[in-house]
Amino acid sequence: MKNLLVLTSVVLLCLLTPSALAQPTASYTLNETAPGTWDLLVDVTGAETAGLSAYEVWVDGVAPASASFTQNTLATATAGFMPGTFVSADIAGNFNAANYQGATVTGGVAIQGIGKTAVSEAGPPAVNLDAQALLGTLSTPLYLGAGDFRTPTVGLLNAAGDGFLNTDSITPSLQVNPLASTVHYTFQETAPGSWDVLVDVTGGYTAGLSAYEVWVDIAPASVSYTENALATATCGFMAGTLI
């Protein structure tokens, strides 16, 4: 009898596991496209849902006077994310923007497939979204990172697109991609034993190089470095700061 009970438990576990794996998921992405300008995108997966029905984004510690959200063309007068259901507010000192497809509960038609497939709907305004749906553009103060944003909830349509799923147990993920600054050094040998040191600097948050260093793992008696004419008496890479 004991062995039978153990076998029964294993069978039940095998039957329950696929159902747990089939739970819909939602993944938000914030891509900084210019200093303080962010694209908000979403991916939705799962056979149980026809796509996104609601979204929200928070910028913690930022008041609405310093932030704004411009929603992409997701709405028509009778369907989808309508202007009347969009909110942008200061909640306890944090910026919040959100919207939901109210049409599904007012007799209108939900736009299905948002976040799952490329979606097109006739307008005006027209709806034309990639599979990773661009929900809108967020403007914020500069130098924000992953710890400054939240997307704690998501709304999903049911499989038929005529109602909503209970998403209380679904925690959407958030990937934040700030602008990156990069520095690339190049050594070009112009004659035997003579090398030019060049640098490229890229990124939206930098005005250029402020310091550099070069190492040659050889005793100083055998190596010398002549700095280019980057300095004046009062600014730039001054002679007194070269070591």
> CA triplet 31, 36, 38: central angle to 5 degrees?
25
The neighbour count for residue 3, using CB atoms within 10 Å, is 7
Per DSSP, the three-state class of 209 is coil
pLDDT of 175-222, one tens digit each? 999 998 788 899 999 999 889 888 888 777 777 888 888 899 998 888
Give residue-wise pLDDT tens across range 135-152: 999 999 999 999 999 999
pLDDT for 77: 63
Residue 228 has pLDDT above 90, yes or no: no
Could you give the domains of the chain?
Answer: 24-177 (2.60.40), 182-241 (no CATH)
Q: In terms of Cα–Cα distance, which of 206, 199, 144 is closest to 181?
A: 206
Which pLDDT score is estimated for 232?
Answer: 66
Distance CA 51, CA 130 (A): 13
pTM of the entire structure? 0.76
C-alpha distances out from residue 214 to 60, 196, 197, 221, 227, Å: 41, 11, 9, 16, 11
Confidence of residue 22 (pLDDT cuts 50, 70, 90): low
